[in-house]
């Protein structure tokens, strides 16, 4: 630890390194905690343990190759990350993709969101001490991964999107298996509620903890369920629809309490909404090509291009500055986790160590997304 971070230490306070290897930090995140007994006085997230310089690598690679790098950012929303880059490139080329591609992209995107929320739910349970939730969440996520495996050939880092469409057409079983999953999962969300949501200890751990006001949510740049838990309507799918999201009817999950429980309920609500989106689209997948032909070497016109999408964690923005060559001059990702993590100090100070862990779990951070 460098000495600059330990200024103004009171004698009763002490310093703890939480991470980079710690069960609650979900990866290699290091938190510098200043603690007085059990009470958190200051939290400083320290990043850089899993930095792979993805943005710099993007400047070296062609636009088709860049898509594959984005899987490794927020690996739980890999499909949506791919989609973000593909949409940016397609917009820049003014390429109109077939309706079929748009619908399939949206369905798989929503399945990804459910899978990500399943994992989040299981891990949140573990963070507050209920170890069984983990396996229930993974049981349902496994079904989605099986669907992905059949259609995309991979379970986690799918690489299903390419600029101009999809890598290949959906598997013949895809529609049936997705329908089966929707039926199955509709009976499982109430089970989640029974096991965890209604539990009195869980309610006590979550209610009124880690409060984030709407003003703070906006000024910290919070997005996704974190922002919506504070009453900040920030769903990109609603405000700037992309792919087939303008054709479906769904509600934006909003809560105004701003505490951990609100963020929890927003995500549970989002799972229902995602199911409803899938149900609306799965029976009406239009016939047609699964991609449009692009040139082998894609050259973007000179200029700046930006596209944002809603990943499971919030708003992911892709900014491409092109000079007209086959590589971007500069590519910048606006990752949702980075902004969401920045408010950890704000919501955790004054709470106990247990509150810090619970609040961090409801921020749903994925460290490789923050530390690209």
Partner 1 sequence: MNITLSITTTIYEFLLEYMSEGAANIGAMITIALIYLAIFAVAGLYLVLLERKIAAWFQLRLGPNRVGPWGLLQTMADALKLVSKELTGTVKADKFLYNLAPYFVIVSSLMALAVFPFTKEFQAFDINIGIFFLIAISSIGVIGILLGGWASNNKFALIGAMRSGVQTISYELSVGLSLITMVLITGSLQLSEIVEIQKNGWLIVQGHIPAIIAFMIYMIAGTAETNRAPFDMVEAESELGAGFHTEYSGMKFAYFFLAEFINMFIIAAIATTVFFGGWLSPFGITESIPWLGVFWFMGKTLLIVFLMMWFRWTFPRLRVDQLLTLEWKYLLPLNLLNIVLMAIIVWLNLTIQL
Residues that bind partner 1 (CB under 8 A): 14, 16, 22-24, 38, 125-132, 134-136, 139, 195-196, 199, 201-202, 204-205, 352-355, 357
Query: What is the DSSP pairing of strand 303-310 with strand 30-36?
Result: unpaired
**Smaller CB separation from partner 1, 122 or 258:** 122
Length of the chain: 372
DSSP state of 153: S
Considering the complex, what minimum distance in angstroms separates the CB of residue 209 from partner 1? 9
Supply 282's token pair. 């799965």
DSSP state of 253: P
Rg of the chain (C-alpha set) = 21
| Residue 114 and residue 185 in contact, taking contact as beta carbons nearer than 8 Å | yes
β-bridge partners, 162: 165
DSSP string for 193-230 = IIIIIT-HHHHHHHTTSS---HHHHHHTT--HHHHHHT
Considering the complex, what minimum distance in angstroms separates the CB of residue 351 from partner 1? 9
Considering the complex, what minimum distance in angstroms separates the CB of residue 39 from partner 1? 10
Considering the complex, what minimum distance in angstroms separates the CB of residue 36 from partner 1? 12
Query: Count of H helices and E strands in the chain?
Result: 15, 8
DSSP state of 197: I
Considering the complex, what minimum distance in angstroms separates the CB of residue 70 from partner 1? 29
Strands (E), 222-314: 303-310
**Smaller CB separation from partner 1, 318 or 361:** 361
**Smaller CB separation from partner 1, 318 or 357:** 357
**Smaller CB separation from partner 1, 207 or 295:** 207
Considering the complex, what minimum distance in angstroms separates the CB of residue 368 from partner 1? 20
**Smaller CB separation from partner 1, 83 or 127:** 127
Euclidean distance between CA atoms 340 and 226, whole angstroms = 7
| Residue 181 and residue 147 in contact, taking contact as beta carbons nearer than 8 Å | yes
Strands (E), 149-293: 161-162, 165-166
**Smaller CB separation from partner 1, 134 or 272:** 134
| Residue 198 and residue 212 in contact, taking contact as beta carbons nearer than 8 Å | no
**Smaller CB separation from partner 1, 142 or 304:** 142
**Smaller CB separation from partner 1, 212 or 361:** 361
Considering the complex, what minimum distance in angstroms separates the CB of residue 212 from partner 1? 19
Considering the complex, what minimum distance in angstroms separates the CB of residue 199 from partner 1? 6
Angle at alpha carbon of residue 134, lines to 313 and 179, rounded to 5°: 70
Q: What is the largest CA-CA distance in the chain?
A: 70
Task: Name the 3-class secondary structure at 295.
Answer: coil
**Smaller CB separation from partner 1, 16 or 297:** 16
- Residue where the block lists tokens 């460098």: 2
Considering the complex, what minimum distance in angstroms separates the CB of residue 23 from partner 1? 5
Render the burial of 276-306: b for 16+ CB within 10 Å, e for the rest.
Answer: bbbbbbbeebeeeebbeebeeebbbeeeebe
């Amino acid at each position: 630890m460098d000495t600059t971070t330990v200024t103004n230490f009171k004698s009763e306070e002490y310093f703890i390194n939480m991470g980079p290897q710690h069960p609650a930090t979900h990866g290699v995140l290091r938190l510098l905690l200043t603690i007085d007994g059990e009470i958190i006085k200051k939290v400083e997230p320290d990043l850089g343990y899993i930095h792979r310089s993805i943005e710099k690598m993007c400047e070296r690679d062609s636009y088709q190759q860049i898509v594959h790098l984005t899987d490794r950012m927020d690996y739980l929303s890999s499909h949506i990350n791919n989609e973000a880059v593909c949409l940016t490139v397609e917009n820049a080329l003014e390429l109109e993709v077939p309706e079929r591609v748009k619908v399939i992209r949206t369905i798989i995107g929503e399945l990804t969101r459910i899978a990500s929320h399943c994992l989040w739910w299981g891990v949140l349970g573990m963070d507050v001490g209920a170890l069984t939730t983990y396996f229930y969440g993974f049981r349902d996520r496994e079904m989605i991964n099986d669907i992905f495996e059949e259609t995309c050939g991979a379970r986690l880092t799918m690489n299903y999107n390419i600029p101009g469409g999809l890598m290949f057409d959906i598997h013949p079983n895809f529609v049936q298996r997705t329908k089966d999953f929707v039926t199955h999962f509709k009976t499982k969300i109430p089970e989640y509620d029974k096991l965890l949501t209604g539990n009195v200890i869980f309610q006590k751990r979550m209610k009124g903890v880690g409060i984030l006001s709407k003003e703070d949510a906006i000024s910290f740049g919070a997005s996704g369920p974190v922002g919506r838990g504070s009453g900040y309507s920030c769903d990109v799918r609603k405000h700037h629809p992309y792919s087939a999201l303008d054709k479906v009817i769904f509600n934006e999950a909003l809560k105004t309490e701003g505490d951990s429980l609100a963020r929890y309920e927003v995500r549970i609500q989002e799972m229902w909404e995602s199911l409803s989106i899938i149900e609306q689209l799965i029976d009406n997948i239009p016939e047609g090509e699964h991609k449009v032909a692009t040139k082998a070497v894609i050259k973007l016109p000179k200029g700046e291009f930006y596209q944002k999408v809603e990943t499971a964690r919030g708003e992911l923005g892709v900014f491409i500055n092109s000079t007209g060559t086959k590589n971007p001059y500069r590519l910048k990702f606006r990752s949702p986790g980075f902004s969401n993590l920045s408010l950890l100090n704000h919501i955790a100070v004054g709470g106990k160590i247990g509150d810090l862990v619970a609040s961090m779990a409801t921020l749903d951070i994925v460290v490789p997304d923050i530390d690209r």
